[in-house]
Amino acid sequence: MKRLVALLLVLALVLGAVLTGLVVFLSAGEDDTGSAPPPQRAVRTDGGEAPESATTPPDPALADLYGQELSWESCEGGLQCSRLTVPVDYAEPTGDTVEIALLKVPAARPEQRVGSLVVNPGGPGAPGTSYAAAADRVFRQRITDHFDVVGFDPRGTGQSAPVDCLTDEELDAYLATDPVPDDPAEEREVVGWVERFGAGCAQRSGRLVAHVTTVEAARDMDVLRSALGEEQLDYFGASYGTKLGATYAELFPDRVGHLVLDGAVDVSLGSRRLSLDQAAGFERALRAYVENCIDSTDSCFLGDDVEQGLATITELVESIDARPLPTGSDRELTVGKAFYGIVTPLYNRDYWFLLSAALRSAQDGDGAALMELSDLYASRGPEGYTDNSAEAIYAINCLDDPFAIEPSEVPDEYAAFEEASPTFGRIFAWGLIGCGGLEVERSEPAPDIAAEGAAPIVVVGTTRDPATPYEWAEALAGQLESGVLVSRDGDGHTGYNAGNACVDEAVEGYLVDDVVPDDGLSC
């Protein structure tokens, strides 16, 4: 995504941020270091003026924006950075503007360059510039050889006029709150934070906070496509980035080149159903983690069977709720922080060992390891928050879908959510109140998405993805008129560069060679 109550309804969509952080922190699968064959698509060398058709605006009033040229400057260890100008409100194209931060990793083999690949890691709220900067770990060599990888911080995030809702101290307190209030006093505290968070966004961010919808970010992507000199958009979006890509395809179907939507979101669902499905997804991932512990060791520290292992984790969380753990600093591990610390490593099977180490330490009374994982999820460093993703996810998702229920209605949701997730159900149920605090009207509603007339779009789903359940990928591929489903049988969030050669070759063959995978390919 990283939040307490308000953001729990979209908990997993922030995973692009987690994925990016963990990719940089550890690694992101095996790279193909062999010599890649030349691409079969038409090769474009960098330089020269953009084709006139690439800069043709969808509205004559946007002509100046579509005609802009990017000025790339060296930054971040030899990479290239620039800024893109877009209108705050597309209904007022000559009014106030905002600058979008860009970062480009040039193709490693410029003589075999295919074009620009615009990328987004998800969230919403994760900085796309950081994602692109880690291109050699996020993508395999076949991609980085033949594409300029271009990341952007969507409006309201990262370095693109970031929205602000709380001070760092307030955000610490917010994330530490009990996600399932146990008494009237805790309930008042949770409700108070929801109201304070929403009011803070409006007070601290000004006019922009009403213009950070996914639709507007998709419009920005088309301005970026034009500025890059590309007649059609080649794009790789993970997690929430799939919603952004699908929205782009609906708005600009004739500009779709090659879109890969990995870890797909079912864009037809409302917030309640999304939250219910995610609760089930995290439960499935936690069960897989516990089962792996039992199957791979002679004596799993969690217990002798899956149910006992889940009970051990639940009892630990309840004990932390009653008595927060020390962390070796002035910050205690509260139950809210413990929750984020537990779910973060579930995004990638390779990081399950981190969860085991953190749970063992917590059992011994030390909360430092779980706190570190929670901080990673919230983009919090030793000196404070390193980006605004914890605030941006709230603003973007609540503008896209301002659904919320009253606190008094939450207990009525317990049965459905506990059936989906005995471990996490009530946490996700309380997340349904989250958008009740933001009293800002969006500039335009989200469209129904089918992308009629678009070129083939590849949708990737992983069978035991905790954050974006596999069923969502099936649904999105079916909703898109030209959707092509590629399935990965495995654990963790997203499917590309996760150790599955079948998925990797399908994605790279599509992007580099223009070979569309068979719909329904199972890997």
Q: 465, 487, 491, 504: which one is catalytic?
A: 465
Which residues are within 8 A (CB) of 364 and not within 5 positions of it... i.e. 6 or more apart? none
Catalytic residue among 160, 239, 389, 487: 239
CA distance 283 to 64: 50
Question: Does the global pTM surpass 0.75?
Answer: yes
Mean pLDDT across 29-51: 46
Q: What is the pLDDT of residues 109-148, one digit of tens each?
A: 999 999 999 999 998 988 999 999 999 999 999 999 999 9
- Within-domain flag for 371: no
The pLDDT-based confidence of 151 (bands split at 50, 70, 90) is: very high
**pLDDT tens for each residue of 367-386:** 999 999 999 888 898 888 98
pLDDT of 264 above 70: yes
User: Is residue 106 a contact partner of residue 148, using CB atoms and an 8 Å limit?
Assistant: yes
The predicted pLDDT at position 324 comes to 94
User: Residue 35 — very low, low, confident or very high, per pLDDT cuts 50/70/90?
Assistant: very low
CA atoms within 13 A on the CB side of 338: 32
Q: What is the pLDDT of residue 177?
A: 84
User: Going by C-beta distance under 8 Å and a sequence separation of 6 or more, which residues neighbour residue 434?
Assistant: 3, 5, 6, 7, 8, 9, 194, 394, 398, 404
Domain with 255, as residue range(s), is 8-162+214-267+453-522
Per-residue pLDDT tens over the stretch 218-242: 999 999 999 999 999 999 999 999 9
Distance of CA 369 to the CA centre of its chain: 23
Per the domain annotation, does 235 fall within a domain?
Answer: yes
Task: Kindly state whether residue 329 falls inside one of the protein's structural domains.
Answer: no
pLDDT above 60 for 4 = no
Q: Measure the CA–CA gap between 479 and 459, rounded to whole angstroms.
A: 11
Q: How many CB atoms lie within 10 A of CB 505?
A: 16
Whether the per-residue pLDDT at 20 is higher than 70: the answer is: no
Mean pLDDT value of segment 196-200: 88
According to the model, what pLDDT value does residue 137 have? 93
| CB-neighbour burial class of residue 61 (10 A; exposed 0-12, middle 13-18, buried 19+) | middle
Q: Is the pLDDT of residue 520 over 90?
A: yes
Range of lowest pLDDT (287-296, 309-318, 438-447, 454-463):
438-447
Average pLDDT value for the chain: 88
Does residue 81 belong to any structural domain of this protein? yes
- pLDDT at residue 422 in the model: 94
- Residue of 379, 400, 493, 504 with catalytic role: 493
pLDDT tens for 275-284 read: 999 999 999 9
The percentage of the chain sitting over the pLDDT mark of 90, rounded to a whole number, equals: 69
Q: What percent of the chain has pLDDT over 70?
A: 90
Catalytic-residue membership of 493: yes
- Is residue 24 a part of any domain in this protein? yes
Mean pLDDT over 1-25 rounds to: 35
Question: Does the annotation count 356 as an active-site position?
Answer: no
CATH code for the domain in which residue 518 is found = 3.40.50.1820
On whether the CB atoms of residues 502 and 465 are closer than 8 A, the answer is no
Residues forming a β-bridge with 464 = 491
Question: Is there a catalytic annotation at residue 239?
Answer: yes
Q: What is the band of 467 on the pLDDT scale with cuts at 50, 70, 90?
A: confident
Is 48 among the domain residues? yes
Q: How confident is the model at residue 40 (pLDDT cuts 50, 70, 90)?
A: low
For range 172-199, the mean pLDDT:
88
pLDDT at 46 over 60: no
Number of domains in the chain: 1
Query: Does residue 92 surpass a pLDDT of 50?
Result: yes
In a domain? residue 102 = yes
| pLDDT confidence of residue 175 | 85
Which residue type is seen at 240?
A: Y
261 found inside a domain? yes
